[in-house]
Amino acid sequence: MGDEVIIEQNGVELSNVEEGPTGKEKIDIEEDESADDRPAWDNKIQYLLSQIGFAVGLGNVWRFPYLCQRNGGGAFLIPYLIMLVIEGIPIFHLELAIGQRIRKGSIDVWNQINPLLGGVGVAMVAVSFLVALYYNVIIGWCAFYFFNSFQAPLPWATCPGNGTVLECEKSSPTAYFWYREALDTSESIEDGGGINWKMMLCIFTAWLIVCVCMIKGIKSSGKAIYFTATFPYVVLLIFFFRGVTLEGAGDGLAFLFIPRVEKLADPIVWLEAATQIFFSLSVAFGGLISFSSYNPRKNNCTRDAVVVAIINSGTSIFASIVIFSVLGFKALTDSRKCLQEFQVVMDNNVPDFASQNMTVTASNYMDLWGTYNTTDTAVRDFNFGYCSKEGNLNNAVGGTGLAFVVFTEAMNQFYPLEMGPFWSILFFLMLANLGLSSMFGTLEGVITPLRDAGIWKWRKEFLVVLLCVVCFLIGLIFAQYSGSYWLDIFNDYSGTFPLLIIAFFENIAIVYVYGLNRLSDDLLYMTGSRPNIYWKVTWMFLTPVSMLVIFGATIYTEATRTITYKGWDSALGQVVDKGPYPWWGEMMCYVLICLPTLFIPLVFVLRLTGLMPYRGETLKAKQKRTVPGAISKQNLVTDSLKMRFSDLKAHSTEDSDSVKAMLP
């Protein structure tokens, strides 16, 4: 910053005139924020907890560990952290900066930057709406398990019917409870089967909770966030101490942190790392912009972006430690159970095996099978699927399969067994709170833009209730017996590819349309410093290039594969490949990808042709109105000298007239 010049003009000091590092002079005029009635956060902690709660969601607990498991363990952390630096944090910072600078929701933010870009904001609202439809369903599932946890023994601890339910005997108690008792899933997506009333009630409960928490906007959700954003960390900490003390936890942690470096040569690993860091920060939803718009303009959004992004990634790594310590215990337990079952088979079917006190161990079971498989069919046909501890750890499971089947089965084996309900209550309450804090940000990405853009002119409470009711009614598609198939479609296509396109246009629009110099001036005004070389290089080159690479790789991947889906086979008692979607299912995948992103070119064309003119005031016009022209130090000095010369001339004339009056 240049030196400040203070000039006195008619007894008034004109200060705050500075010369920027570019050599251009300007006047910083702080707008009177107290003049508007925009809601504000009670304090900085409330704001940071809301941003953390929005960014840290279910994906941190059940998707990130799965990606580590599948992509080289500790080796996956290398591309993940690199992508965090060149892609995640820069976009996160951009959204916080523009929301805080313009103090509007996503639609009005882009209209004020440039009306031709208004479609970017509309696309953000569309994505948030589509994601909210299915995300709250998962919270409903967590509520179902939470309510069923208040009984001992847990209903998923053993198979019903004392061995007569073949579907459960062929799978496991937890898998049977999830697919049959909870979802009661149909055999395919084409078999809708009607409404599952249990799931409908749980989804209704989830929407009721969200509606109550958000009815007063950030005044109510800001209060709830103190619990929903902090409680998951308390539970993770409890599970951490329980997990690392379990037998076999060391094997799971070794699997997580020992890098399988050869995986780094696989481009898919880098692609999945970039995709995960991008989506886990919740950028391009509009929620970050909405939350930051309730900040005062003088707030260090640069520091906020770095802090929240690091906490988000740290949470993912910490959650992975918890998950893998438990998975290590489960892998060891399953291996021992498998070897014990093989011991029984050998004792019962191989002569003299039991009498010779021969023991099946992890090191000799395959040798024993090789020796005796030709003598007995029971030995030959034995399933060794879970006998290998390393093989168990290599079986990558993510998403609902990890939360509702694998981790739930592991908790069944925590000692003492009577504590099962306690661990289950904690776990599913944690998942529900992770989902709720993310839902607050997702719905703010819809509500705030609609109100700020003047699309909704009535009370905010009515909009919240209407939105929750509409989402619940549309979301009944997920309460069908085929609802889990529909949720997979929405999860795979509505909140992935469109976000990438939106964020790319967002980066290009801010840096190259709004202008990096103007953004730099805004950050100087808001934070007291201009962006350093790291921010400039990432915004201008590294971030858009990395998104283009992901964009191209994703298009290639999707274009070269057939869209298929997996589902539950009740006869086999396991998840199997169901083949390609029916034509209408495949069309829905493309609709979810294209629908939000089509608003970007659509609004551009409508505005360009004048069919949908923007009648508001752009940021550039507002700045011109507020500061009619560039007022330099030289102009101020010149005006001051002219004023002083005029005063001096007037005084000289008065003195001359007085002298003349005194003359005879």
Binding site, annotated residues for Na(+)? 53, 55-56, 60, 280, 312, 434, 438
Question: How many CA atoms, within 13 angstroms, populate the side-chain half-sphere of residue 657?
Answer: 6
Helix (H) or strand (E) holding 301: helix 301-349
CA distance 478 to 32: 47
Helix, strand or coil for residue 26?
Answer: strand
Q: How far apart (Å, rounded) are the C-alpha atoms in residues 400 and 618?
A: 45
Query: CA-CA distance, 381 to 310, in Å (whole number)?
Result: 50
Distance between alpha carbon 402 and the CA centroid of its chain, in Å? 18
> Three-state secondary structure along 112-134?
HHCHHHHHHHHHHHHHHHHHHHH
CA distance 500 to 147: 37
Residues in the chain: 664
Q: Enumerate the β-bridge partners of residue 579.
A: 565
Measured between its terminal Cα atoms, the distance across the chain in Å is 61
Rounded-to-integer distance, Cα 430 and Cα 145, Å = 12
Phi, psi of 568, deg, nearest 5? -85, 130
Tokens read off for 485: 């198939």
| Cα–Cα distance measured from residue 93 to residue 74, given in angstroms and rounded to the nearest whole number | 27
* Residues 438, 58 contacting (CB under 8 angstroms): yes
In Å, how far are 31, 98, 166, 277, 293 from 47, measured between CA atoms?
Answer: 22, 16, 52, 22, 11
Measured over the CA atoms of residue 542, residue 543, residue 548 and residue 554, the dihedral's sign is positive
Q: What are the strands, taking DSSP E only, across 233-302?
A: none
Q: Which long-range contacts (CB under 8 A, 24 or more apart) does 519-522 make?
A: 519/97, 521/20, 521/26, 522/97, 522/101
SS3 content of the chain, % helix, strand, coil (to 5): 70, 5, 25
d(CA 70, CA 575): 18
| Phi, psi dihedrals of residue 633, rounded to the nearest 5° | -60, -40
* Among candidate residues 168, 187, 188, the one with its CA nearest the CA of residue 178: 168
Helices and strands, number each (H, E), in the chain: 31, 5
Cα–Cα distance for residue pair 580/575, rounded to 1 Å: 15
Does residue 569 contact residue 187 with C-beta atoms inside 8 Å? yes
Residue type, 408: T
